[in-house]
C-alpha cells in the first residue's frame, strides 16, 4: 500500500469511528431540532459577535450561543434544555422586568441532540488552559470585597441566595460554567459581549487575579 493510501484508509477509519460515537450522531439532529423549535429566532449561533450599538444589543432576544461549547460544562445543556431554570434574575436586556421563567422546554431526546450540536460551537479565543473550578481565598476576596462583583451577581451563601440581580446568577455555576471561558471573558469581554453593562476588569486586575476569579466563580454552587 502506498503511504498515501494508508493515510487515506486511516483517515476513513477514524472518520467512521467518530461518526459512530453517540454524541456525534446527535449533532445533525440537534441542528435540525434547533431550527424546528425556532431557537434561532432568539439565539445567534454564528460568530463573531455582530452587535455594535446599544440598539443592536436591544434587538437581541436572547444570549448568543456561538461559543456555547467553550462556555458551558459538559452535561449542563442537556439537563437545562429539558428543564430550564432562570439564570438571569431579570428578563433579557431589562433591569426592571423579572425573568418569568418561561423559556421553551425540549423533550429529553431533543435536549441531548441540541446539546451535542451546541457543544460543538467553540471559540478559538478560549484557550484550553484547564483552570480548576475551586474556591480560593484570593478569588473570593476580589469577588466579595475588592470589586463589586457581588453587587450585581448573586450566589448561594451557606444555603441562602445573596447578592445583586443585574447580572446572571452564579448559583449553579459549578455545573454550568467552564473556568477557561470565564477567564477568557474577563480578559477580553469585547469578543463575547461587545455591548455590555458589566465593567471591564482587564487592566485593573492582574492576569493571575483574573484566573483566580475565574476559578472561584466557576466553583460556586
List residues binding ligand HEC (CB under 6 A): 34, 37-39, 41-43, 61-63, 65, 77, 81, 86-88, 92, 99, 103-104, 106, 114, 143, 147-149, 151-153, 166-168, 182, 185, 193, 196-199, 201, 213, 217
| Residue 160 C-beta: closest distance to ligand HEC, Å | 20
* Angle of helix 3-20 versus helix 22-36 axis, rounded to 10: 60
| Residue 143 C-beta: closest distance to ligand HEC, Å | 6
Query: What phi, psi does 206 have (nearest 5°)?
Result: -70, 160
Residue 126 or 149: which CB sits closer to ligand HEC? 149
| Residue 18 C-beta: closest distance to ligand HEC, Å | 24
Residue 17 or 92: which CB sits closer to ligand HEC? 92
ω into residue 48 within 30 of 0, thus cis? Answer: yes
- Closest by CA to 34, choosing from 71, 85, 68, is 68
Please name the helix (run of DSSP H) or strand (run of DSSP E) that holds residue 157, with its range, or none. strand 154-157
Residue 3 or 211: which CB sits closer to ligand HEC? 211
DSSP at 163: E
Q: How buried is 216 (Cβ within 10 angstroms: 0-12 exposed, 13-18 middle, 19+ buried)?
A: buried
| Residue 197 C-beta: closest distance to ligand HEC, Å | 4
Looking at the DSSP assignment, which residues form a beta bridge with residue 98?
90
Residue 11 or 151: which CB sits closer to ligand HEC? 151
Amino acid at each position: 500500500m502506498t503511504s498515501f493510501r494508508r493515510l487515506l484508509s486511516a483517515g476513513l477509519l477514524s472518520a467512521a469511528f467518530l461518526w459512530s460515537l453517540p454524541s456525534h450522531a446527535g449533532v445533525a439532529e440537534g441542528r435540525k431540532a434547533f431550527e424546528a423549535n425556532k431557537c434561532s429566532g432568539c439565539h445567534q449561533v454564528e460568530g463573531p459577535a455582530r452587535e455594535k450599538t446599544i440598539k443592536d444589543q436591544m434587538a437581541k432576544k436572547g444570549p448568543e450561543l456561538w461559543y456555547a461549547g467553550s462556555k458551558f460544562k459538559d452535561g449542563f445543556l442537556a439537563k437545562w434544555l429539558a428543564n430550564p431554570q432562570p439564570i438571569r434574575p431579570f428578563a433579557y436586556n431589562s433591569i426592571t422586568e423579572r425573568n418569568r421563567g418561561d423559556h421553551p422546554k425540549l423533550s429529553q431526546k431533543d435536549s441531548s441532540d441540541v446539546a451535542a450540536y451546541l457543544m460543538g460551537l467553540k471559540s478559538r479565543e478560549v484557550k484550553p488552559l484547564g483552570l480548576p473550578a475551586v474556591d480560593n481565598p484570593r478569588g473570593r476576596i476580589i469577588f466579595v470585597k475588592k470589586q463589586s462583583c457581588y453587587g450585581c451577581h448573586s450566589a448561594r451563601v451557606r444555603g441562602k441566595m445573596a447578592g445583586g440581580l443585574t447580572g446572571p446568577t452564579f448559583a449553579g455555576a459549578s455545573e454550568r460554567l467552564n473556568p477557561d471561558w470565564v477567564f477568557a471573558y474577563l480578559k477580553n469581554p469585547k469578543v463575547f459581549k461587545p455591548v455590555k453593562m458589566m465593567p471591564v476588569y482587564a487592566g485593573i486586575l492582574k492576569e493571575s487575579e483574573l484566573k483566580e476569579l475565574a476559578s472561584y466563580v466557576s466553583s460556586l454552587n
